[in-house]
Amino acid sequence: MTLPFATPTLPVAGAVVAEKYVLKRLLGAGGMGVVYEAEHQITRRRVALKLLRPDPSAGAEGAARVLREAQASSSIGHPNIVEVLDAGTDAAHGMYLVLEYLDGEELAVAVERGGVGTGALIDLVLQVLDALGAAHAQGFVHRDIKPENVFLVRDRDGAQRAKLLDFGIARGGGGEQRVTATGAVLGTPWFMSPEQARGEAVDARSDLWSVGAMLFQALTGSAPFDGNNVNVVMVAVITTRAPSLRSRLPRASAALCEVVDRALQREPDGRWESAAAMAAALRAVPERTSRAALPDRRDTRDGSSRPTADSAEAMLSETLRASLVPSRSTGHVVAATLVAMAVVSVVTFAVVRDRRHAEVAHAPPRTAIPLPPPVTPHAATVEPATATAPAMPAVALPAEVPVATAPSMHAAAHPLLHPRATPVVAHDAAVHHTPPAAHVPFGSEAF
């Protein structure tokens, strides 16, 4: 089957797709597609219409993702999966996908603003597990479970419902992992299972790992493997064990910790065997009846754009410690550890360089530090500046004998740099010009 490429330009509001869908406004954009609010010309139904992003590199690969999303969502037909209403090809705008219009917000947004309680969060995750159970039963693995792909809407009775989005990279029948022409691994690193991050074939248990990571992040405020650098996160996912929920959320019940920790087991055989099994355990946790709201995290987000040297060093130490954990593929662990060392070295070098540049840029001007008086074999009494010097003749030193002088920043005050200047003679702890009345002590005047 020949699939069309993307259109060269984005259509504007008012454009008609497939002679029946009128575009109203742009709703958002994803990796390969753009989504519009649209209206069917005949039925006046409000819909969401997805078109391929106008990027030639997407090509047949992007069209295949649109087709795969249409087939997966339609064949599963679950109330917690966004409904696909239509799909086809438009001569002017390329391939399109028509979805039910959802009025609500992403789970990521709701959790971030503290708009979801602990009990409500668990109920929403149960709905996601129910949808995944239906998908897995038909051989589909979603492979991109994350808070941004869970959309929250209200039913007619006001109940909150989770809708699972974006089956564009889903695969059926436990097929191969890589789907891009360049062999890139698709998914979101913070919620990607270790086997998916390694580019290996995945099954339903990979989705359960992602659900565990999503629940971990919603409860604690950070993903199991958090960081601002995608490469560091990927290496950590591949080479280290996930932290226990109890280590980040001490008040969590033992039952809830068991659900999350088992889902995040590094080896698929150690995880829940199915979405139904994980859901059964999650329904039994005492937190399900909690009405406590999650904290508002909008003002506590870390705004840094990359890790500091300290965090990079900590990540490297954790990576090296975890590399000793037995794995089915020791070669992957060794290779990933070497990559981690290289990545962290580059990051640390960049951070240290930036710190040095910042220190130089903000360093105060240098000030001269007065030197201590010369040490002499005899104790001496320093005469006040206004006192009369002891009556003794000035000693003329031979030219080849070094002269003890007061250091100066100016050539005119230094007899060796300016030959016509009057020599300065060291006498005990006081320094005198000739005649004695021109007394110059070591201090700010000498510089």
pLDDT digits (tens, 9 = 90+) for 1-30: 344 444 456 788 899 999 999 999 999 886
Please tell me whether residues 95 and 236 are part of one structural domain.
no
CA distance 139 to 147: 23
Mean pLDDT value across residues 50-69: 68
144 an active-site residue? yes
202 and 284 together in one domain: yes
3-state percent helix, strand, coil for the chain, nearest multiple of 5? 35, 15, 50
The tally of domains found in the chain comes to 3
Residues 124 and 249 in one domain: yes
What is the H or E stretch that residue 89 is in? strand 84-90
Residues 253 and 118 in one domain: yes
Residue 374 lies in a domain: no
- Mean pLDDT across 53-72: 67
Cα angle 181, 187, 192 (rounded to 5 degrees) comes to 135
Going by pLDDT thresholds of 50, 70 and 90, the confidence category of residue 275 is: very high
Last residue of a domain, one of 71, 100, 129: 100
Phi and psi dihedrals of 401, rounded to 5? Answer: -90, 130
Residue 205 lies in a domain: yes
Taking the C-alpha atoms of residue 8 and residue 242, their distance in angstroms, rounded to an integer, is 43
Rounded (10°) CA dihedral 166, 174, 74, 160: -50
Cα-based angle 303, 148, 15 (whole degrees, multiple of 5): 110
Q: Which domain holds residue 434?
A: 401-447
* Burial class, 401, CB count within 10 angstroms (exposed 0-12 / middle 13-18 / buried 19+): exposed
Q: How far is CA 133 from CA 257, 278, 372, 396, 406, in A?
A: 22, 10, 82, 103, 87
Report the C-alpha gap between 177 and 184 in whole angstroms. 9
pLDDT band at 375 (very low <50, low <70, confident <90, very high): low
Q: What are phi and psi of 111, to 5 degrees?
A: -65, -40
Instruction: Say which of 90, 123, 130, 144 is annotated catalytic.
Output: 144
Q: Which of 297, 314, 340 is the last residue before a domain boundary?
A: 297
Each residue's pLDDT tens digit, 98-147: 999 999 999 999 999 998 999 999 999 999 999 999 999 999 999 999 99
Calculate the CA dihedral of residues 113, 115, 120, 123 and round it to 10 degrees.
-60
Q: Is the pLDDT of residue 191 over 70?
A: yes
Domain boundary among 280, 297, 314: 297
**Does residue 37 sit in the same domain as residue 156?**
no
